[in-house]
Every structure is written in structure tokens, then in C-alpha cells.
Amino acid sequence: MARKKETADTLPMLKTVEQMSRISGIGENKLRELMDNGELEYIQNGNRRLIADTAIWDWYNRAKKAVIPTGTEGG
């Protein structure tokens, strides 16, 4: 059976580390490190770790740094 080519329209709900790396721009090793440290939720399916988009956004919201505005110049 031929395998479907993945496009933006047919991406699965749960993605492998490799797929999520391509979509998010976060490296495969970094994603695995986040999962090993318990910072990124995933589902274990055999020897695969599957990641949901919401898990990336959850991690992003916890890890982001707030922008501190520079002093305003007054006069």
C-alpha cells in the first residue's frame, strides 16, 4: 500500500518527533530532551513518542520570557 504524502491539509493530530520538529522549528534532540525532563507532554505508542500541537503551545506559554520595555524617553 502506498503511503500518503503529508501536506498541511492531512497532518495527523498526534505527530512524531520528526514531524513536530519540521512544523515547529524546534530541533528533534531538543524535543526529546523536553520530553525526558517532563517539560513536554507526549503519548508513548510502542517505541514512538507522539506529540500534540497543544503540548507544544503549553510548553511555549510556560517557557516564554516576558518582554521588558525599555525606559521611555521624556522631556
Q: Whole-model pTM?
A: 0.74
Q: Are 23 and 15 in contact (CB under 8 A)?
A: yes
pLDDT at 75: 53
pLDDT at 8 over 60: no
For 16-71, how does the pLDDT look when each residue is reduced to its tens digit (9 = 90+)?
Answer: 999 999 999 999 999 999 999 999 999 999 999 999 999 999 999 999 988 888 87
Euclidean distance between CA atoms 27 and 33, whole angstroms: 10
pLDDT at 2 over 70: no
Q: Which residue has better confidence, 4 or 67?
A: 67
Every domain of the chain and the residues it spans: 14-61
Euclidean distance between CA atoms 61 and 39, whole angstroms: 12
Q: Are 51 and 44 in contact (CB under 8 A)?
A: no
